[in-house]
Structure 1
């Protein structure tokens, strides 16, 4: 009996120790996510007022105006295309609707800057469209007007084409989950289908739609590759210019603080406007919304409206990039390109594993110890997705560069040895930036799977003598394998596409496919830029195919 009591006491001690260990890791992850934001604030505040005054007198108003215009255009565009396409494929039936349910997600595989390279090759002055126009009409370069692709509006179109799937996926899921009761009641009271949609279905789907638009907005303000290539001056390009071209860390930190404040204000505004509104189904039984069968010109119109974003957001860019890649002199199997691929895979694989492990720590601690502390840790872990990569890069480099310089000075003075830069410019600091940036995506995927694990399973495992870590290893992780693989894949692809943080923080002579594509495009070698862009696109298709399979199963 004493032996049993001793065993139970030892198991209890091991359980408490395991819980404290998971909690310590979760708080460490939360602190790592908060560090860049705190460092940016401190660096901006201690940088003096001369720099910010100069920025206010020169570029800051332009950065703010351009960013606001870009955000406004992308918000309207993604809302119109995403909600419209989701309503058509959910509420109507026309030839090809099953195909469009999947095809409308495909542009999500494209980074916006890759789309920018493709459309510049087509629409720029020496491109095929304007060249053909001059040959057919006999016009000279100044005899006609043509929309300028390298503009704020052009950047907005590129971003809309690749970001509307966020709104489409969430809006379609919301429409599928709605009961027909309220919609049919509105129809019975004399509302037309359009009026019932606008006054009933759309407000009920508002939280999901707002979440999709907010994701698109966050990606817009974080975008660097598209706006930099088009010469559009936003906060993201300003940070990079201040850091590299002017070597002004104070200006970069203060611009990063402005961008951070802008991102957080957007998130808080949406959350505040939503308030405590809740949406409930009016009946106990769920009745699916009735789908209308379209024919004639209505079916043709629906088909065209769904085909346009797929054509311009996926099919045409793939064709153009393939042609560009075939005409280039870049050899994907050369030692140089194999090095780019190896660097990209190393960074993406390492960051994906570390980020998912961090998500497991935070998510499992919140399950073990639900309360204010674990909730705050999870909230801090999610903040990174609202912070652009350039801000995270500045926020990590500033404190660690100070640490490296202080350590080097102390070692020189004490031992006469120079340590150099131990952390700054290392792969591990870049991986840490990726973890902060994409931890929210991994945590969401993990928590969606964790919600399917009933609390009774935990209780049964504990009654059989399992510690919390044993329960995680033997019960949760086997059940959550699909969710964990999804999280790994999402983070892997996001890291492959990430450009601003990689440009600022990568070690010397450690280039990735995204950096190589950006460098070649900056030198106007668009055919060469198509080769690494196609590899990034091919990798990006993996999670999109996974999402499409899930959509098909749910349907």
Structure 2
């Protein structure tokens, strides 16, 4: 039995993989347990008054964001790969910049920018000759439409990046043949390029919708009561863990259903390009007012998704520092953020390496592949759902450690896990382990299996092979994984709000508190630091896959 399940893998590697998968699955099992406890009359209230609005707002939000991110991301990807124009190379990487700005920071910035007495509306009134907000004001950004627009301006790069890669790699011969036969660029796009890019569009859109579903700050700031916001308010305002767990479990069922539906819809889609076809497509030059219009439209997501909010943060942070200096609390919060993010990054990357290496040792093991997939589920679980699911197990772990310590040594440990930040490390590692798995697996795929076979023929143990061969050769992939995980940990808000220890603030929670109080200028420094940290992977991403032959 053991030989059939784990051929080629030692017991230690398999057991570690099993434990990691169970730790990721534990919050889901805990949710089911808490939901089964029942919340008494509260569930009737939630089902009648909370869930219908939360479900309606969530569906509307995801539908609107889905349409916009697909439209913006796919359109911009086609523009920078199919056409040649001055500034093409700059625009190709600039379209990635909104990824550096978390959704709640964009909402934070625009709530002040678009306030009735804010700079934008004040300028418009001056230009139009109005003297009061009662005479002229823009529609309130605190609305479903405003939330959809702001989230889309930040999340469209999730579609843009894979679709651009697909357009760059797909069969150029088909596109050139259609043009040779007289098909217009518009017909070539809709009849050939777009169908071929459907898998990339589906993957990118699903990632964007996951991020939209995970959002709590922007939705709450903009008055949209999604299911994520309802989970947080049920736990914090009503102090009902079973009620929050019931909503969270209901939301998790929806998430899993969407993932399965997306995979079912693409089950028969297979696209292959021969080696002779995989050359870059021939670009067309843009001329006249149509070209200027297309490039101008492609610049709008960069302007409104990055330049405007980031410029606002720079100005407000400079004003704040000039007026009151740097708040010592910001330094403490930055240290907390860096420390927790760094520890979680090391843990998640190390566990991902163990999982993928175990899978390589047991190349044909369906069980190991299943464990890796289970361990990657955390990214599909919204941060709020994950945090609610961890509350029970963490309390049990703290109690077990405290009882054991009191019995053995006569010393009470108290809330050793929940009170030390270990809970945040657990949540971050479980949520972002999938990023490490994907990056490291891609790196391992470039390492020839002949190296493993040669080392095994020389009786080199599995641990030594990992240390001497796979770790050095996969360092670039591990570095990329660590960078992405670190930035995601720094931006994570929902899980941090629920699991942080008492009197423990991060840059994200500081910003959330300032925005809740309406003191936007006080949160600008923290917001700017988060954005600057997010720029690091964007700069590195811009070095790869940028279209050539640009002016």
TM-score clears 0.5 = yes
The match for 1:218 among 207, 210, 215 is 210
Question: Who is 2:278 aligned against?
Answer: 286
Among candidates 125, 131, 152, match of residue 160 of structure 1: 152
Contact 1:171 1:205 in 2 (8 A): yes
Question: 1:174-213 to 2 correspondence within 5 Å?
Answer: 174-213=166-205
Deviation at 1:236, TM superposition (A): 1.1
Conservation of the 8 A alpha-carbon contact between 1:393 and 1:501? yes
Q: How many residues align?
A: 541
CA RMSD of aligned residues (A): 2.4
Q: What is the CA-CA distance between 1:287 and the residue it aligns to?
A: 3.5
Q: What is residue 87 of structure 1 aligned with on the other side?
A: 78
Question: Match for residue 115 of structure 2?
Answer: 124
Q: CA deviation at 1:120?
A: 1.3
Farther-moved stretch of structure 1 (75-84 vs 227-236): 227-236
Shift of 1:485: 0.7
* 3-state SS of 2:133 partner: coil
Distance 1:76 1:416, change over 3 A: same
**Pairing 1:390–2:384 present:** yes
How far the C-alpha of 1:243 sits from its partner, in A, is 1.1
SS at match of 1:289: coil
Question: SS of 1:551's equivalent?
Answer: coil
Q: Equivalents in 1 of 2:200, 2:253: separation in Å?
A: 24
> In the alignment, what sits opposite 2:393?
399
Q: Provide structure 1 residue ranges, at least 5 long, that are not aligned to the other structure.
A: 1-14
Flag the 1:143–1:490 CA change in 2: closer, same or farther, 3 A.
same
For residues 243 and 270 of structure 1, the distance between their equivalents in structure 2, rounded to whole angstroms, comes to 31
| Structure 1 residues 413 and 287, CA gap change in structure 2 (3 angstroms) | closer
CA contact (8 A) 2:420 2:501 kept: yes
Contact 2:440–2:481 (8 Å) recurs in 1: yes
Give the structure-2-normalised TM-score.
0.93
Q: List per-residue Cα deviations over 1:167-204 (Å, max 9, x = no partner).
A: 11100000011112222333455532211211111111
| Range that drifts further, 37-46 or 535-544 | 37-46
Partner of 1:20: 11
Q: Is 1:336 the counterpart of 2:336 in the alignment?
A: no
Which residue of the partner structure matches residue 36 of structure 2?
A: 45
Per-residue deviation at 1:296? 1.4
Structure 1 residue 455, shift from structure 2 partner: 0.4
**Is the Cα–Cα contact under 8 Å of residues 51 and 250 in structure 1 kept in the other structure?**
no
Provide closer, same or farther for how the CA distance between residues 29 and 236 of structure 1 changes in structure 2, counting only shifts above 3 A: same
Match of 2:90 among 93, 99, 116: 99
Structure 1 residues 554 and 271, CA gap change in structure 2 (3 angstroms): farther
The one of 268, 271, 274 aligned to 2:260:
268
Give the distance between the partners of 1:427 and 1:193, measured in 2 at CA. Answer: 55
CA 1:139–1:451 in 2, change beyond 3 Å: closer, same or farther? Answer: same
SS in 2 for 1:328: helix
Q: Residue 397 of structure 1: CA displacement?
A: 0.7
Please state if 1:114 is matched with 2:108. Answer: no
> Which residue number corresponds to residue 475 of structure 2?
481
Deviation at 1:450, TM superposition (A): 0.7
Q: Distance in 2 between matches of 1:48 and 1:414?
A: 37
Assess, with a 3 A threshold, how the Cα gap between structure 1 residues 410 and 539 changes in structure 2: closer, same or farther. Answer: closer
Aligned to 2:245: 253
- Cα gap change, 1:510 to 1:191, in 2 (>3 Å): same
Please give the residue correspondences for 1:331-410 in structure 2 after superposition, counting only pairs within 5 Å: 333-370=326-363, 371-404=365-398
Displacement of 1:323 in angstroms is 0.9
- How far is 1:554 from its partner? 8.6
1:137 positional shift = 2.5
2:516 alignment partner in structure 1: 522
Distance (whole Å) between structure 2 residues aligned to residue 491 and residue 544 of structure 1: 13
Match of 1:446 among 440, 444, 459: 440
TM-score, length-scaled by structure 1: 0.92
- Write the distance in 1 (CA, Å) between the matches of 2:9 and 2:179: 57
Structure 2: stretches of 5+ with no match in the other structure: 1-5
Distance in 2 (alpha carbons) for counterparts of 1:443 and 1:283: 28
The question of whether the paired residues in 1 share the 8 Å contact of 2:85 and 2:286 is answered with yes
Please list, as runs of the form range in 1=range in 2, the aligned pairs for 1:322-333 lying within 5 A after superposition: 322-328=314-320, 333=326
Deviation digits for residues 306-361 of structure 1, max 9, x if unmatched? 21111111111121111111222586754322211110011010000000001001
CA distance in 2, matches of 1:52, 1:252: 10
Give the Cα separation in 1 of the matches to 2:170 and 2:410. Answer: 71
Question: Does the 8 Å CA contact 1:363/1:443 hold for their aligned counterparts?
Answer: yes
Tell me: CA distance 1:552–1:291, structure 2 relative to 1, closer, same or farther (3 Å).
Answer: closer
Q: How far did 1:486 drift? A: 0.7
Measure how far apart 1:290 and its partner are. Answer: 1.4
Q: CA deviation at 1:208?
A: 0.9
Show CA shifts across 1:492-527 (max 9, x none).
000000001001000111101111111111111111
Partners of 1:197 and 1:141 lie apart in 2 by: 45
Q: 1:58 to 1:438 in 2, by over 3 A?
A: same
CA distance in 1, matches of 2:13, 2:406: 39
Partner of 1:305: 297
Cα distance in 1 for residues equivalent to 2:374 and 2:8: 24
Query: Take 1:512 and 1:419, find their aligned partners in 2: how far apart are those partners?
Result: 24
Q: Which residue of 1 aligns with 2:3?
A: none
For residues 439-481 of structure 1, the C-alpha deviation after alignment (integer angstroms, 9 at most, x for no partner) is 1111111111111001001112222331111111111111111
Contact 2:8 2:361 in 1 (8 A): no
1:422 aligned to which of 413, 416, 423: 416
Pairing partner for 2:493 from 478, 493, 499: 499
Distance 1:16 1:482 in 2: 29
